[in-house]
Structures are given as C-alpha cells and as structure tokens.
Amino acid sequence: MTATVAHCPALFLTAPASNQGKTTITAALARYFTHQGKVVRVFKTGPDYLDPQILAQASKQPVEQLDIWMAGDDYCQDKLYQAAQVADLILVEGAMGMFDGEPSSADLAARFGIPMAIVMDVKGMAQTAAALATGLANFRDDVKVAGLIANRCGSERHAELIRDALPANLPLLATLKRDEEICLPERHLGLVQAEEVKDELEVRFEAAVEWLKETRDDGLLTLPAPVAFYPAQQQEESNHDAASALKGKTIAVARDAAFSFIYDANLIALKNMGAKVVFFSPLTDQALPEADALWLPGGYPELHAKALSDNTAMRAAIHTFYETGKGILAECGGMLYSLDDLTDLDDACYPMVGILPGQGAMRGKRGCQGMQTAVLPQGDIRGHAHHRSRSANTPEPVGYGRRQRHPAPGEAIYQQKGLTASYLHLFFPSNLDATAKLFLASHKAH
C-alpha cells in the first residue's frame, strides 16, 4: 500500500539576485552530506540544463527541474514525494532572485512548505546585508526563511557585524570566506558543461567541502527539520493514461559535446510512454542507430561546427532518415544543425544537414530568452527559449510560441514531413500526448 506522506529534511537555496553563489553552495552542500553517507536529492528550479549537470555530479544522484508553470503543480509535488521516499536530504536551488518570475522560487517553496536559506554575496557591505535579508524574509508571511548564508565574507569581524545586526529569528547559517578556487567555470550561455571539466569539478567540489567546514556558524552543516511531502493523485493518473503512447518505438537521441541540453525528465517521460531510448553522436558516429524517431536537442553546435560539418556520413544519414517521413524533433541547437549552414562565433560558415531550409548564425552577447508555450497542431507543450543566434530564409512557420507574459509572438515553429523544428526547448511532461504525436510524426501532411 502506498504511503500517504513521506518526511525528509529539505532546504531551498535562494538569493536576492543571480550570481550570489547559489550553485556553488548547493553543490558543496550536496557533496558534504554525501560524504556523511547521506542520499542527497537535488532539484533545480526553472528551465536550466547546465546547473543540473554540475549538481548531479556533486550529489552523485539524478537532478531534475521543478517549475510550477512549466511542469505543473502536481508534477512538482510528485517529484518531491518520490525523492522524499529515498533521500536523507532534499536540496532545491532557486533561479534568479527569491521573488523573481511568475511563479518565483518563493512561490515554489511556499507551495511545498520548504524552508529557504538566503545566499548573499556580502562583499562590500555588513549591516546592510542583514537589512536586505530581513526584508526578504519578511516580504511574505507564507515563506519560511531558515537563515542567511553570508558568501564572500571577508573576516570574523565582518561576520560579527552581520550576525549582530540580524534579528533573533533569522540566524546566520554560515559565513563563507572569499575563495576563487571553488568558483565554477562559465561560458557564453552560463556554466561550462560538467562532462567537459569533470576532473576539475571534482577538485573544486572537495575544496568546497573544506570551505564549508571552515564556517564559524554551523547551522548549514546540520540536517534541517523534516518536511512532509504528499503524493499527487492526478499525476499518477496522467502517467497511467500515457503509459503506452510510444510502446514498441525506439527514439534515437543526439548526445555529445555539441548536443547535451537534455532534461532527464524528458528521457524519463519517453521511457514511461513505452519508448526505448538510444543515443548517438553527430560528432563522431558515422551512422544512425535503428530508430523510429530522432531527437536533436539543444547544445553548443556553434563550438563544434567544423566537426559536425566534416562528418558528412552522419549528415547524409539524417537527411535519408528525414526523407522517410519519420518523426524528428530539432530544438534550438538541433534546429541550427538541421539548417543548410551555420556561421560560428568566428564568422566561419559550415554546411549543416540541410533538412530545414535556411541559415543560422551566432550573434554576440545579446539573445532571446524566456518561458513560452509551443502552440502546435498536436497540442500545446510548455518550454523556454534561450539562444544567442539567429536564423534566416526559413520556411513559413506553422505557428509561434506563446510568451508567458507578453502578447508578441514567440519563437517560430516549423513542420515539414516528419520534422518539427524550433528554437524552443520543450518540457515533455507538460503534455505527454502531444509529445508522443511529434515523435510519431502525425503532422506529415503539413
């Protein structure tokens, strides 16, 4: 008989803004408690691919996204409930600032009763850090704040000034010194992919554990109080309804250094619908595996454009697959790979697969990002856009993304033969039925 409640210690890492050290501290905590023999399950809020890779390596456990808008309330509840049944600690890393976005990190924490710890870079301030933390902690009465983590704290005197200025009900959980050796490497779309710097990350994780141990406030190094998590009945029913939508189908997924923006939740969704998932590398493989559908996810094709172009055998194999009319989903970087050619960051132009007419080109630091719903003939699927490239001379789209909070049309969506291509990164669990139809190529007539 299924339990009706699962209790597990949990903490939500938030901040007043981005770039305060949330990912570094979340990873350090995950590794610290893993060293204590604890099973640590980490979740990341929002549509993020790179942070979860880092956090999965730190915790040695899978990391999935939690986002009420993108995934739904029941989905998030079910994921937390499942994790609480196997974990000794649940950590959730927020996105941006504590109250930024709709829904925000605070909305998620309040909905599931998870206490929040405020991570703040306190360099250049002392009592003001306490004032800011106090304001955040009291901004809403439905959010419980466990305390403040003072990151980049210069000295014990610096910590003392902050500690003494905090109210009694808002403790200083940790004072972490400035240490560039534990900072995580970055590139133009965010953090570097974990697989590229796996050994370096191990060194930084271990250094981060020692960094945590040096704090003069030990509130962060003890397990927080247990939180009650409940199952979501409607989520179980939804999973059951879609259980056989892709039964007997094999989906080949591009996965290598050029294509790695893959939600674990999406892979799980495909498998739960009955599909067999196999992987291939457009960079190094000469042929496609036997498959009924392809998924070309996002990633960094612009950093590997020459190698992708030089692999003419793979380009030809994908083109042949396209001509069969079988389902292909190409997202963002996968869409760029599907175009006729791609101009990289050095203005070098390389031929790509050519199953979608048009040209792709990188463009500096400015780009497009935001939550959008893909409005498709098969049904609406929620997701997001985040790119610093442009496409030109593409066909007439079958539709556009619907922005979360703006009336202007979002990203163009293309469909021809069995191909669906867009800059949008789709979150499959938001509409399993529509997702299955994309891979079954139910839009061949378009």
Q: Residue 414 pLDDT > 70, yes or no?
A: yes
Overall pTM surpassing 0.85 (yes/no): yes
To the query of whether residue 332 is one of the catalytic residues in this protein, the response is yes
Q: Which of 37-41, 186-190, 272-276 has the lowest mean pLDDT?
A: 186-190
391 sits in which H/E element: strand 389-392
Would you state the structure tokens that stand for residue 428, as one six-digit string? 């499959």
Confidence of residue 271 (pLDDT cuts 50, 70, 90): very high
pLDDT at 404: 80
Contact 28, 208 (CB under 8 A): yes
Confidence of residue 442 (pLDDT cuts 50, 70, 90): low
Q: Which DSSP state fits 196?
A: G
pLDDT at 406: 79
pLDDT at 235: 57
Measured CA to CA, the distance from residue 38 to residue 32 in angstroms comes to 9
Active-site position among 76, 153, 332, 368: 332
Confidence of residue 445 (pLDDT cuts 50, 70, 90): very low
Q: Residue 352 pLDDT > 70, yes or no?
A: yes
Percent of the chain with pLDDT over 90: 76
Greater confidence (403 vs 131) lies with: 131
The two domains 6-233 and 242-439 share their CATH topology (first three levels equal): yes
Measured CA to CA, the distance from residue 442 to residue 446 in angstroms comes to 9
pLDDT at 183: 72
To the nearest whole number, what is the mean pLDDT of the chain? Answer: 90
- Residue ranges per structural domain of the chain: 6-233, 242-439
Nearest to 380 by CA among 413, 350, 406: 413
* Encoded amino acid at 81, one letter: Y
pLDDT at 184: 64
- Rounded average pLDDT over 118-122: 97
* Encoded amino acid at 434, one letter: A
- Tell me if the domain spanning 242-439 has CATH number 2.60.40.420: no
Angle between helices 198-213 and 50-59 (to 10 degrees): 70
In the chain, the largest separation of any two C-alpha atoms, in whole Å, equals 70
Q: Residue 1 pLDDT > 60, yes or no?
A: no
Other C-beta atoms closer than 10 Å to the C-beta of 195 total 13
- Rounded average pLDDT over 404-419: 90
Q: Which of 68-72, 182-186, 252-256, 293-297 has the lowest mean pLDDT?
A: 182-186
Q: Residue 160 pLDDT > 70, yes or no?
A: yes
Confidence of residue 345 (pLDDT cuts 50, 70, 90): confident
- Rounded average pLDDT over 52-76: 92
Confidence of residue 366 (pLDDT cuts 50, 70, 90): low
Dihedral in degrees, nearest 10, Cα atoms 262, 27, 5, 111 = -80
pLDDT at 370: 83
Greater confidence (244 vs 443) lies with: 244
312 sits in which H/E element: helix 312-323
Greater confidence (133 vs 446) lies with: 133
- Rounded average pLDDT over 370-393: 90
Contact 32, 26 (CB under 8 A): no
Q: Residue 387 pLDDT > 80, yes or no?
A: no
Q: What backbone torsions phi and psi does residue 354 show, to the nearest 5 degrees?
A: 80, 30
Please state the three-class secondary structure of 336-390 as a single string: HHHCCEEECCCCCEEECCCCCCCEEEECCCCCEEEEEEEEECCEEEEEEEEECEE
Q: Residue 444 pLDDT > 60, yes or no?
A: no
Confidence of residue 47 (pLDDT cuts 50, 70, 90): confident
pLDDT at 191: 44
210 sits in which H/E element: helix 198-213
Other C-beta atoms closer than 10 Å to the C-beta of 74 total 17
pLDDT at 371: 87
Measured CA to CA, the distance from residue 43 to residue 81 in angstroms comes to 12
CB-based contacts of 141, cutoff 8 Å, min separation 6: none
Confidence of residue 192 (pLDDT cuts 50, 70, 90): low
pLDDT at 267: 95
Structurally, at CATH architecture level, domain 6-233 sits in 3-Layer(aba) Sandwich (3.40)
Confidence of residue 188 (pLDDT cuts 50, 70, 90): very low
